[in-house]
Structure 1
Amino acid sequence: MFSLKALHKNKTLKYGVPMILLVVGGSFGLREFTQIRYDDQRVKRKLDPSLEAKVNVQKQSVILEEEYMKLEKTNLDEWKNIRGPRPWEDSKEYQEQQRARLNKED
């Protein structure tokens, strides 16, 4: 009976051991919960195999020289920079003004 009272009064056993169990157990618990999260994301990211094949073909088919040839065909000398409407401006009205200005210049 004496040893039980001594153990009950021991602050290390009363406060330290539960705290250590809480920290270590919480660490393992959080690891499991985060693993579930990442597993769920991995499942959601999987694509249909036919769709994935199409996506991979499109990524591989882009060649730098082909893109350069497309840009060479465009006429950049006649390009006009048109500013978009400001947040406080009426966009429809501003677009009509820009179109009218472009038609006058042509």
Structure 2
Amino acid sequence: MFSLKALQKNKTVRYGVPMLLLIVGGSFGLREFTQIRYDSQRIKRKLDPSLEAKVNIEKQPVMLEEEYEKLRDLNLDNWKNIRGPRPWENSKEYQEQQRSSQNKE
């Protein structure tokens, strides 16, 4: 029969078996680590009950006719395109300036 020295000299046993153990064991280890990641994300996503109630209210089905009525009431003929601020401009001041110039017209 095979002796221990014969198994130690065999390249398959010496290199192949540890490699297979590393690959198979690594896949199980990675699964556990990724599961921890997803569990922590699920815990972070939990909302306050008051916010969750507001979110659930917004998930009610929207009727197309109701949305059409809302859009029909808006005055879409008299609008002006307002340019957003450049990165070097102060956005609050620029927006107030644009709004005041729009109200004058």
Q: 1 CA distance for matches of 2:94 and 2:53?
A: 46
Q: TM-score of the superposition, structure 2-length normalised?
A: 0.71
Aligned pair count reads 103
CA contact (8 A) 2:85 2:95 kept: yes
1:76 and 2:76 are equivalent in the alignment: yes
Bigger drift between 45-54 and 68-77 goes to 45-54
Normalising by structure 1, what TM-score?
0.70
SS of alignment partner, residue 76 of structure 2: coil
Q: Secondary structure of the residue that 1:77 maps to in structure 2?
A: coil
Percentage of matched positions with identical amino acids: 72
Q: Which amino acid aligns with 2:46?
A: K
- CA gap 1:42/1:87 in 2 versus in 1, 3 angstroms: closer
Deviates more, 1:92-101 or 1:10-19: 92-101
Would you say 1:26 and 2:57 are equivalent positions? no
Q: Which has the higher contact order (CA 8 A, sep 6+)?
A: 2
Structure exhibiting the larger radius of gyration computed from Cα positions: 1
Q: Determine whether 1:58 maps to 2:58.
A: yes
Amino acid at match of 2:4: L
Q: What RMSD in Å do the two structures reach over aligned CA positions?
A: 3.0
- In structure 1, runs of 5+ residues without a counterpart are none
Cα distance 1:89–1:58, how it changes in 2: closer, same or farther (>3 A)?
Answer: closer
Cα distance, 1:100–1:63 mapped onto 2, change above 3 Å: same
Matched, 1:5 2:5: yes
Against the structure 1 CA distance between its residues 37 and 100, is the aligned structure 2 distance closer, same or farther, given a 3 Å change threshold?
Answer: closer
| Structure 2 residue runs without a partner (length 5+) | none
Q: CA deviation at 1:4?
A: 2.2
Offset of residue 69 of structure 1? 1.7
Distance in structure 1 (CA, Å) of the matches to 2:90 and 2:66: 40
Q: What is the rounded CA distance, in whole Å, between the counterparts of 1:98 and 1:3 in structure 2?
A: 90
How far, CA to CA, are the matches of 1:86 and 1:5 in structure 2? 76
- Structure with greater helix percent: 1
